[in-house]
Amino acid sequence: MFSISPSARLRPSPFFDATVAEGVRAFTTYNHMLMPTSYGDPQAEYWRLINGVSQWDVAVERQVQLKGPDAAVLAQILAPRDLSRQKVGQGKYVPLCNHHGVLINDPICLKLADDLFWLSIADSNIWFWAQAIAAERGLNVEVSEPDVSPMAIQGPKAEDVVAHVCGDFVRDLKYFWFSETTIGDIPVVVQRSGWSKQGGFEIYLRDGSRGTELWNIFKEAGQPWGIGPGNPNWCERIESGLVSYGGDSDTTTNPFEVRMGKYVDLDVPDDTIGIQALRQIAATGAKRHTLGLVLEGDTPIAPGFSWNPIMQNGRKMGDLTNVVFSFRLKKNIGFALVSADLAIGDVVQCQIGGTSHQGRLTDLPFL
């Protein structure tokens, strides 16, 4: 075994001590932080998310704050999705693209006030990007990172737990809408969101010194519903068709190729970054698309975290960007980022760890 050396560049999550107390067994890195990826019992953690309620340290979803008179202008320059009708208290899932229309992040954009936004980012550095764009465009906006750390409560029983802690008002929150509130005297934002399709909320802690306290409030309140620790679940998210930026995309992928076309609005202002390129791609059609792949056989193969080539008639047609044994489908499944010439129903071959597997392309989500 080896360990990870501490460094000033590796930012601790406010929930780190709580996850250690829960028996965390593995971490991954994300946005220069550690995110728990296992508490040692993948099956139990999966079924707790599907049938019960699961508590996640997702402080790695760091916030890029845009504040000032031009905050809304900057948000719209960064995001090729129409934000003009976004209300205070509403979140929107937005692709961020570079000038070539390549996806560079897929945050949730929270509008806290007319002049205050948070981009709750995936794993790439958007602070530099947003700061540079703001300066180059001469905007009156401050780009910074606030003291904010999300914790997720996910699963069919999450609403009961969060309502028990925060009050019944959370039951009325629509998807991605949020409310600023306090739990005791701990300042938080509560949003109906989270990287699973099992329902749930994210509690954005606004005082990093109180992570253990907040964790334990939910841990105790959730006991009647059997709450336990978990993390963004590799199996559930593949079954549910949730895209992982940087995992299912690479340095050439545009939003249309990864099923994010419905979050692109081609009529945003012309100064939105990447919109020229996206209009072009939309006009000619993307060269690739993402489908599901169901492999033949029901023997579990090891979860895959790197791309594997997808072949048809001996020609490479794309890549399998992830693979997992689905506990509900009892099949090995994954996302196929393949040529737009391939369609649902096509039979393809995929080389995984030295073995060739046959499979059939399907629609997403799997479940």
Residue ranges in contact with ligand THG by CB under 6 A? 61, 93, 106-108, 120-122, 150, 193-195, 202, 242
Polymer length of the chain: 367
**Of residues 143 and 242, the one with the C-beta less far from ligand THG:** 242
Which residue in the block uniquely carries the two structure tokens 């129903």?
345
Residue 143 to residue 85: CA distance in whole angstroms: 22
SS3 content of the chain, % helix, strand, coil (to 5): 25, 30, 45
**Of residues 55 and 193, the one with the C-beta less far from ligand THG:** 193
**How many other C-beta atoms can be found within 10 angstroms of the C-beta atom of residue 3?**
5
**Of residues 187 and 351, the one with the C-beta less far from ligand THG:** 187
In the complex, the smallest distance separating the C-beta of residue 168 from ligand THG, rounded to whole angstroms, is: 23
**Of residues 301 and 367, the one with the C-beta less far from ligand THG:** 367
In the complex, the smallest distance separating the C-beta of residue 46 from ligand THG, rounded to whole angstroms, is: 17
In the complex, the smallest distance separating the C-beta of residue 341 from ligand THG, rounded to whole angstroms, is: 25
Residue 124 to residue 113: CA distance in whole angstroms: 25
Residue 208 to residue 103: CA distance in whole angstroms: 30
Residue 323 to residue 45: CA distance in whole angstroms: 18
**Of residues 99 and 262, the one with the C-beta less far from ligand THG:** 262
**Of residues 90 and 312, the one with the C-beta less far from ligand THG:** 90
**How many other C-beta atoms can be found within 10 angstroms of the C-beta atom of residue 228?**
20
In the complex, the smallest distance separating the C-beta of residue 315 from ligand THG, rounded to whole angstroms, is: 31
Packing angle, helices 126-136 and 71-78, rounded to 10: 110
In the complex, the smallest distance separating the C-beta of residue 262 from ligand THG, rounded to whole angstroms, is: 8
Listed in order, strand segments (DSSP E) in 170-255 are 178-183, 186-191, 200-205, 228-230
**Of residues 174 and 316, the one with the C-beta less far from ligand THG:** 174
In the complex, the smallest distance separating the C-beta of residue 230 from ligand THG, rounded to whole angstroms, is: 13
Q: Among 333, 345, 338, 350, which residue's Cα sits nearest to residue 257? A: 338
For 131-150, letters b (16+ CB in 10 Å) and e give: bebbeeeebebebeeeebbb
In the complex, the smallest distance separating the C-beta of residue 150 from ligand THG, rounded to whole angstroms, is: 5
Rg (alpha carbons) of the chain, rounded to whole number: 21
In the complex, the smallest distance separating the C-beta of residue 35 from ligand THG, rounded to whole angstroms, is: 11
Q: What is the largest CA-CA distance in the chain?
A: 63
**Of residues 122 and 214, the one with the C-beta less far from ligand THG:** 122
**Of residues 173 and 242, the one with the C-beta less far from ligand THG:** 242
In the complex, the smallest distance separating the C-beta of residue 205 from ligand THG, rounded to whole angstroms, is: 12
Which three-class secondary structure state does DSSP give residue 297? coil
Residue 238 to residue 333: CA distance in whole angstroms: 8
Q: Among 266, 262, 263, 273, which residue's Cα sits nearest to residue 73? A: 273
**Of residues 192 and 357, the one with the C-beta less far from ligand THG:** 192
Residue type, 142: E
Residue 124 to residue 105: CA distance in whole angstroms: 6
